[in-house]
């Protein structure tokens, strides 16, 4: 069994949010779309219409240009399903046959607890590409070079990972941080 698989079993990673983008192949009459799809649209406050889906639970922000941002899902698959469901509903309510560009995952956020306390001051000195300003923020901001993500490392042992583009990158980031902390003797129970 690989080290990654062992750590995946040891540290339970919870995906908190997936952000995906796509675009319809045309512009949208956003005011009409918002009325027909019961979306929230206030152009004086924000240029996009906000569409909330219940299943899968997601929020889609739709712009006049046809750009769509999907957020709030817990997996890549759920983000894809939400976009497909929105486009299907859009086509049915607007009586059109819109196609959309490939869906791109632009950010994934996950959290986990490594089960050990972390010496933040020592970790900040020993982990490369780290910043720790306890008066500003109670965690180390640790930039990983591969995969290119950012881990927020808290003294309690909680880690929040942001910037991943795939689930594998999330696990790889958490595993890399966990291994670095353990290897450098920066954790305690």
What is the domain count for the chain?
2
Q: Report pLDDT for 3.
A: 42
> Last residue of a domain, which of 100, 120, 139?
100
Q: Report pLDDT for 96.
A: 74
pLDDT above 80 for 61: yes
Task: Measure the CA–CA gap between 92 and 180, rounded to whole angstroms.
Answer: 52
Residue 19 in domain: no
Q: What number is the average pLDDT over the span 125-154?
A: 96
Count CA within 13 A, CB hemisphere, residue 50.
10
pLDDT above 50 for 184: yes
User: Contact at 8 Å (CB) between 100 and 80?
Assistant: no
Q: Report pLDDT for 95.
A: 65
Q: Are residues 143 and 115 in the same domain?
A: yes
Residue 124 in domain: yes
Query: Which pair of structure tokens corresponds to residue 167?
Result: 């689930």
Count CA within 13 A, CB hemisphere, residue 164.
24
Q: Are residues 124 and 96 in the same domain?
A: no
Q: Identify the CA nearest to 127 among candidates 114, 143, 103.
A: 143
Looking at residue 172, which CATH number applies to its domain?
Answer: 3.30.310.10
Question: What does pTM read for this prediction?
Answer: 0.87
User: Contact at 8 Å (CB) between 36 and 93?
Assistant: yes
Percent of the chain with pLDDT over 70: 94
> Last residue of a domain, which of 60, 75, 100?
100
Residue 173 structural domain: 3-14+107-188
Task: Measure the CA–CA gap between 33 and 98, rounded to whole angstroms.
Answer: 13
71-88, pLDDT tens digit by residue?
Answer: 999 999 999 999 999 988
């Amino acid at each position: 069994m690989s080290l990654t698989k062992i750590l995946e079993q040891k540290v339970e990673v919870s995906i908190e949010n997936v952000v995906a983008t796509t675009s319809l192949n045309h512009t949208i009459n956003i005011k009409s779309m918002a009325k027909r799809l019961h979306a929230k649209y206030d152009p004086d406050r924000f240029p996009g219409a906000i569409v909330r889906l219940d299943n899968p639970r997601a929020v889609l922000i739709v712009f006049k240009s046809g750009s769509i941002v999907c957020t709030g899902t817990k997996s890549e698959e759920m983000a894809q399903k939400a976009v497909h469901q929105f486009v299907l509903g859009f086509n049915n309510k607007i009586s059109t046959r819109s196609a959309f560009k490939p869906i791109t995952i632009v950010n994934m956020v996950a959290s986990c607890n490594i089960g050990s306390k972390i010496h933040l001051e020592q970790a900040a000195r020993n982990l490369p590409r780290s910043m720790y300003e306890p008066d500003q923020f109670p965690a180390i901001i640790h930039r990983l070079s591969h995969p290119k993500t950012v881990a927020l490392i808290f003294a309690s042992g909680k880690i929040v990972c942001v910037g991943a583009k795939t689930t594998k990158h999330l696990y790889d980031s958490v595993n890399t941080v966990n291994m670095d902390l353990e290897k450098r003797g920066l954790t305690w129970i």
